[in-house]
């Protein structure tokens, strides 16, 4: 393994080194079969076994009930923004959305093409620096589902607990899936682009309750129906084989780490010293309100954009890469998903203290 | 490089060994950056350069005019079946389709959701064993486009030349793109799933004439508009980074091989001895009519399903893998895309002669 940089990229993001090395070997010669992984027919026994194991591991690690399907789709989470209402929301029906960031807002825009959208809460006017408590919004009785984004990458906010409302939940978990245990039975549908906590870009995992599969209308194209993919175990057409395979490797790694509860503990241990540095050093100011702070993306500002640029530049020079905040909010962001190593956090915390001393 | 098997898989399919080895190295540590290829942010300079080079190579190798966009999409060619009419066919407008196989038929099914479909030719009743000559069908004057599949993987048929009709062409070139020169200016749109001639599964290349981008209606979801992806150089959301990167490697390889005209010559030299074996040995019977024979997929039958099974089994035992025909037509199929080595064809031809001698 050559020297590794600490990669704080928000996604695609850092992966376990062992996963990279196994993938590298398999690409050239899959399990010594004489055929490379990415040359395998998706209908070969070898690849079908990969897909089956990957699904089984996701089921096990998330504790997914039997009445849910696990689908491997394409088009990113962005394609779920329209597939969810296209499949689940009849014309004239209502759905409730929580506007906690750009990705939620984009989902709201797409949902309006299909039905009536109730935005029950929005933190847009305060730069999305918080997510709501349950007592801060209501959901109409005739709403079909409550849609929310569990973790808002750009702003560094995260729902500390899932909304406890008497309605089917639908969640975009792209940036915190499998970072903590979740009770899947409260959800009608969960989806996540893989490129943060599950693997490389190119595959989207959707977990959908079976009774919802038949809601879709006749006029929806075949490839856009969840049912199409559910009926064929995600092999209706050629799946994104390599990305799916890598998700399997990451799931194996996560199982070795002890699963969702164990990784949550580690994630808390990684985030805590960063927030402590932000709170104790006068040079830094956290973007997210304390109650909404994310364990995945730690966002903070320095007094001036110039100082922020200097911080990012000097951090980069010592191997702390990808700390620039999203262009829409500026500042700094440390993305520390499941696979991000504790040593990288320690190095960043030390650098923050050092930088504060020199520039405070 | 460990011992390689000759992989006749119809897709995902064999790739150049040098491509596999470069991908394996880059996955662990991209160009010695300390970050693996699949961990790179899609907005990093390093990855943007990969995407730009890949597009430039496709443009160069296909001779794509400046008034066309090259898009990297997801969802496979199957998603283009509906995206084409969804973007290009107004309600009540007519489009013409040639039904030359299962993939064409699926595209026809999706197009019917959006407009009026004229099926100008069908070889369905003769097991899709041929494609039409220009004089065998007519296209209505009010049709918006003529849609066809250049190469029909399952049946081993291929249009020897592109239809010469006075109408905008749209083609699914999934299984023969870049296997021969094509005059792109005759087309409104060309698309191809990468996993046969361009790289691994997970990315679909669409080449679309710019003036068509504005035809799409307001009610189409953002991610399903070609314009969305064209306006953002395929970076509206996270692209399938690894697959896109591999396409770039395959394009570099193809350029080294001399480009589309040079590879066509090689493809002809690979297909010829196989068809010669089929025609000269009484044991084998080609599925496709001679005038429609594909240079990419060589389909043939033996007198009985039992003998076919024995043929496939014995070929597999000497390292000739993936020769089973598609379940819908049975028999045998040798898929010999650009990257399939001549030595594999020679070995198969020798085996066919040997098998015929023993079982003829």
Please, which pLDDT band fits residue A360 given cuts at 50, 70 and 90?
A: confident
CA distance B282 to chain A (A): 31
Computed over every residue of chain A, the mean pLDDT equals: 97
Contacts of A39 in chain B (CB under 8 A): 7, 9, 12-15, 20, 200
Q: How far apart are CA B232 and CA B217, in angstroms?
A: 19
| Segments in chain B forming alpha helices (H) | 17-28, 45-62, 76-88, 102-111, 226-231, 241-257, 260-280, 305-317, 342-359
ipTM for this model: 0.97
- Show the tokens assigned to A44: 């070969």
The share of chain A scoring above pLDDT 90, in percent, equals 97
Report the range of poorest mean pLDDT among A197-206, A262-271, A323-332, B52-61.
Answer: A323-332
Contact by Cβ (8 Å): B101, B132:
no
Residues 6+ apart with CB under 8 A from A333: A8, A10, A154, A156, A297, A298, A299, A300, A323, A324, A325, A326
pLDDT of residue A1: 40
Q: Report DSSP state, residue A4.
A: P
Q: Which helix (H) or strand (E) holds A255?
A: helix A241-257
CA distance A3 to chain B (A): 6
Q: Tell me which residues of chain A, numbers 250 to 289, contact chain B at a CB-CB cutoff of 8 Å.
A: none
What pTM did the predictor assign? 0.98
Q: Tell me which residues of chain A, numbers 297 to 326, contact chain B at a CB-CB cutoff of 8 Å.
A: 319, 321-322
Per-residue model confidence as pLDDT tens digits over A61-108: 999 999 999 999 999 999 999 999 999 998 899 999 999 999 999 999
Please, which pLDDT band fits residue A206 given cuts at 50, 70 and 90?
A: very high
Contacts of A76 in chain B (CB under 8 A): 74, 223, 237-238
Please, which pLDDT band fits residue A2 given cuts at 50, 70 and 90?
A: very low
- Show the tokens assigned to B287: 């599925």
Nearest CA in chain B to A75: B74
Cβ–Cβ contact A187 with B under 8 A: no
- Show the tokens assigned to A319: 């191997």
Nearest CA in chain A to B17: A28
Per-residue model confidence as pLDDT tens digits over A271-308: 999 999 999 999 999 999 999 999 999 999 999 999 99
Count other Cβ atoms within 10 Å, centred on residue A3: 8
Count other Cβ atoms within 10 Å, centred on residue B278: 23
User: In degrees rounded to 5, what are phi and psi of residue B356?
Assistant: -65, -40
* Cα separations in angstroms, B77 against A171, B149, B190, B299: 28, 11, 10, 22
Strand pairing of B68-73 and A116-122? unpaired
C-alpha B116: how far from its chain's center?
A: 26
Q: How far apart are CA B101 and CA B175, in angstroms?
A: 13
Per-residue model confidence as pLDDT tens digits over A267-276: 999 999 999 9
pLDDT of residue B159: 98
Cβ–Cβ contact A40 with B under 8 A: yes
Nearest CA in chain A to B115: A219
Q: Which helix (H) or strand (E) holds B286?
A: strand B285-286
Contact B242 A200 (CB under 8 A): yes
Cβ–Cβ contact B35 with A under 8 A: yes
Q: How far apart are CA A194 and CA A207, in angstroms?
A: 13
**Residue numbers in chain B where pLDDT is lower than 50:** 1-2
Interface contacts A/B by beta carbons within 8 Å: 213
Residues 6+ apart with CB under 8 A from A29: A35, A36, B2
Cβ–Cβ contact A91 with B under 8 A: no
CB-nearest to A238 from B12, B222, B319 is B12
- Choose among A153, A187, A180: nearest CA to A70: A187
Whether A225 shows a pLDDT value over 70: the answer reads yes
Please, which pLDDT band fits residue A145 given cuts at 50, 70 and 90?
A: very high
pLDDT of residue B44: 95
Q: Report DSSP state, residue B110.
A: H
pLDDT of residue B91: 86
Cβ–Cβ contact B29 with A under 8 A: yes
CB-nearest to B237 from A78, A113, A319 is A78
Per-residue model confidence as pLDDT tens digits over A238-253: 999 999 999 999 999 9
């Amino acid at each position: 393994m050559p020297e590794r940089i600490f990669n704080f990229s928000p996604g695609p993001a850092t992966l376990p080194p062992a996963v990279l090395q196994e993938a590298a070997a398999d690409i050239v010669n899959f399990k010594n079969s004489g055929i490379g992984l990415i040359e395998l027919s998706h209908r070969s026994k070898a690849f079908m076994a990969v897909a089956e194991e990957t699904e089984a591991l996701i089921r096990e690690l998330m504790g997914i009930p039997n009445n849910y399907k696990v689908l491997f789709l394409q088009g990113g989470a962005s394609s779920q923004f329209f597939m969810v209402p296209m499949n689940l929301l009849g014309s004239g029906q209502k759905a409730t959305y929580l506007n906690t960031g750009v990705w939620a807002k984009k989902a709201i825009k797409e949902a309006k093409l299909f039905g009536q959208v109730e935005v029950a809460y929005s933190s847009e006017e305060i730069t999305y620096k918080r997510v709501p408590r349950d007592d801060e919004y209501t959901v109409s009785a005739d709403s079909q589902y409550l849609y929310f984004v569990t973790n808002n990458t750009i702003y560094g906010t995260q729902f500390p607990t899932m909304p406890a409302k008497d309605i089917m939940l639908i969640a975009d978990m792209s940036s915190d899936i499998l970072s903590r245990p979740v009770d899947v039975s409260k959800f009608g549908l969960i989806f996540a682009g893989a490129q943060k906590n599950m693997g490389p870009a190119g595959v989207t995992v959707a977990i959908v309750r079976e009774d919802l599969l038949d809601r879709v209308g006749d006029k929806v194209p075949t490839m856009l129906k969840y049912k199409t993919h559910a009926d064929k175990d995600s092999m209706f057409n050629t799946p994104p084989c390599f990305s799916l395979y890598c998700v399997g490797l990451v799931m194996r790694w996560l199982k070795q780490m002890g699963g969702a509860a164990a990784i949550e503990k580690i994630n808390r241990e990684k985030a805590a010293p960063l927030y402590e540095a932000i709170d104790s050093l006068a040079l830094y100011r956290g973007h997210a309100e304390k109650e909404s702070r994310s364990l995945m993306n730690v966002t903070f500002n320095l007094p001036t954009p110039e100082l922020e640029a200097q911080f990012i530049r000097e951090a980069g020079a010592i191997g702390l890469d990808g700390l620039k905040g999203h262009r829409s909010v500026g500042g700094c962001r440390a993305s520390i998903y499941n696979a991000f190593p504790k040593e990288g956090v320690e190095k960043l915390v030390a650098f923050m203290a050092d930088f504060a001393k020199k520039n405070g």
